[in-house]
């Protein structure tokens, strides 16, 4: 496996910057960029011209991640060539919230078809960041692929505006797409880790009315009313300020189940909160907050969860880092520290790519069961043996 990376700031810069990467004859090109760069109609065409035979996948961001740290307003292009493994990219339309599960199922069906390179070893999944039920998207996909296949990725961002995001796939860039990259072969090693670092505060509130990812009532009261009371002065900046105060998801016994839910939008008329993932009636939610130090510690644990490194590894290693935009807001000028913390715990020379997202996709810690996470740092480490 070999990997090369570059960064561009405009469509007319792609040809020159991508030339050294194209010489690698990559199987897969991952692209994560700011909306001003990616929404240029010429950008997708420039990428396709630069990599005519490569699979393209990626999305718009709320910040781009590389081994040099975090940037805004750029586009990171990472070319991967596998020596023993193969790639298949599928895409589906998610025009409405209600279509999220169907889109995931379509992606899973496409990836589950037999491949001459061998079994499906892992999936990278990228979805639109607004007007989507990320949990349903994941459940639809995982219901159609073999059990135990790890899935990592994230929901696209638009710099914190929460208005329009883009996903890159075989048909180019779309604001209604979900894209899944299937990785096939016995030689591929797909390790993963996910951790938050947020701390709960306040009482647990029962979910008394919810539909999918629409939270309508807590303890019998409109959810938005309760949330605004907790936020105080921060309430005037909703939904953006909701990134600073996510919910911890608890079961009926008030025990944490390892999932966090963040707010993507509000409905003043209905008094509801639009969450990045599903919540179920009868479960409980509790508010959370964090400090920069606790979030950096969480990033370290996500990297460490990828497990022992170097067991027969050949060539380069590539790590996909997907972290929540809420973490970026909390850390401010210190945001590079969580990327540095991850890099220090991965094999020397690992190529880092990724983005700040509106939802992180990763298996649960210690399990293969994939879930939508919020406010976490997730790491997917790809190598060949």
Largest Cα–Cα distance of the chain, in whole Å?
61
What is the spatial distance between Cα 184 and Cα 82, in angstroms, rounded to a whole number? Answer: 10
Is the per-residue pLDDT at 166 higher than 80? yes
User: Which pLDDT score, from 0 to 100, does residue 4 have?
Assistant: 97
DSSP letters spanning 291-329: -HHHHHHHHHHHHHTT----SS-EEEEEEEEEEEHHHHH
Is the per-residue pLDDT at 292 higher than 90? no
The backbone torsions φ and ψ at residue 227, rounded to the nearest 5 degrees and listed phi first, read -65, -40
Contact indicator for 245, 234 with CB cutoff of 8 Å: yes
Average pLDDT along the chain: 91
User: Which pLDDT score, from 0 to 100, does residue 364 have?
Assistant: 67
User: Which pLDDT score, from 0 to 100, does residue 242 have?
Assistant: 85
Contact indicator for 215, 275 with CB cutoff of 8 Å: yes
Give the confidence band of 87 by pLDDT, cuts at 50, 70, 90. very high
Q: Which two tokens stand for residue 177?
A: 């797409």
Buried-state track 97-118, b at ≥16 Cβ within 10 A, e below 16: bebbbebbbbbbbbbbeebebe
The tens digit of pLDDT for each residue in 304-348 reads 888 665 555 667 899 999 998 988 988 899 999 999 999 999 988
**Nearest to residue 355, comparing CAs of 219, 155, 101?**
155
List, in sequence order, every residue forming a beta bridge with 29; answer none if it has no partner: 56, 79
Cα 260 to Cα 273, 302, 320: the distances in Å are 14, 15, 20
Give the confidence band of 220 by pLDDT, cuts at 50, 70, 90. very high
Give the confidence band of 167 by pLDDT, cuts at 50, 70, 90. very high
The tens digit of pLDDT for each residue in 49-78 reads 999 999 999 999 999 999 999 999 999 999
Q: What mean pLDDT is predicted for residues 209-229? A: 95
The tens digit of pLDDT for each residue in 104-158 reads 999 999 999 999 999 999 999 999 998 888 889 999 999 999 999 999 999 999 9
Per DSSP, the three-state class of 30 is: strand
The tens digit of pLDDT for each residue in 17-59 reads 999 999 999 999 999 999 999 999 999 999 999 999 999 999 9
Give the confidence band of 381 by pLDDT, cuts at 50, 70, 90. very high
Strand 69-71 and strand 2-8: pairing?
A: unpaired
Bond from prior residue into 248 cis (ω within 30 degrees of 0): no
């Amino acid at each position: 496996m070999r990997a090369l990376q570059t960064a561009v700031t405009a469509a007319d810069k792609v040809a020159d910057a991508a030339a050294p990467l194209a010489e690698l004859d990559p199987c897969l090109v991952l692209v994560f960029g700011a909306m001003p760069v990616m929404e240029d109609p010429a950008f997708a065409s420039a990428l396709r011209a630069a990599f005519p035979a490569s699979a393209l996948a990626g999305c718009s961001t709320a910040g781009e991640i590389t081994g040099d740290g975090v940037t805004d307003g750029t586009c990171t292009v990472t070319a991967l060539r596998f020596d023993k493994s193969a790639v298949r990219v599928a895409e589906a339309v998610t025009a409405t919230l209600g279509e999220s599960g169907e889109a995931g199922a379509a992606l899973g069906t496409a990836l589950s078809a037999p491949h001459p390179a061998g079994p499906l070893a892992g999936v990278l999944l990228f979805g639109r960041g607004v007007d989507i039920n990320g949990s349903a998207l994941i459940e639809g996909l995982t219901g159609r692929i073999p059990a135990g296949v790890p899935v990592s990725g994230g929901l696209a961002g638009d710099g914190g505006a929460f208005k329009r995001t883009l996903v890159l796939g075989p048909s180019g860039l779309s604001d209604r797409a979900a894209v899944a990259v299937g990785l096939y072969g016995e030689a591929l090693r797909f390790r993963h880790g996910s951790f938050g670092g947020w701390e709960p505060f306040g009482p647990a509130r029962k979910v008394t009315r919810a539909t999918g990812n629409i939270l309508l009532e807590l303890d019998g009261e409109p959810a938005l009313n309760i949330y605004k009371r907790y936020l105080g002065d921060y309430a005037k900046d909703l939904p953006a300020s909701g990134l600073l105060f996510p919910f911890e998801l608890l079961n009926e016994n008030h025990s944490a189940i390892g999932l966090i839910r963040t707010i993507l939008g509000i409905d003043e008329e209905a008094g509801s909160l639009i969450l990045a993932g599903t919540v179920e009636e009868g479960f409980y939610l509790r508010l959370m907050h964090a400090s920069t130090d606790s979030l950096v510690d969480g990033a370290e644990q996500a990297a460490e969860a990828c497990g022992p490194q170097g067991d027969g590894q050949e060539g380069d290693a590539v790590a996909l880092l997907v972290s929540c935009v809420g973490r970026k807001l909390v850390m401010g000028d210190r945001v590079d520290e969580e990327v540095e913390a991850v890099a220090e715990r991965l094999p020397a020379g690992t190529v880092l790519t990724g983005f700040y997202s509106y939802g992180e996709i990763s298996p649960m810690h210690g399990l293969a069961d994939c879930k939508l996470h919020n406010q976490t740092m997730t790491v997917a480490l790809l190598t060949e043996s």
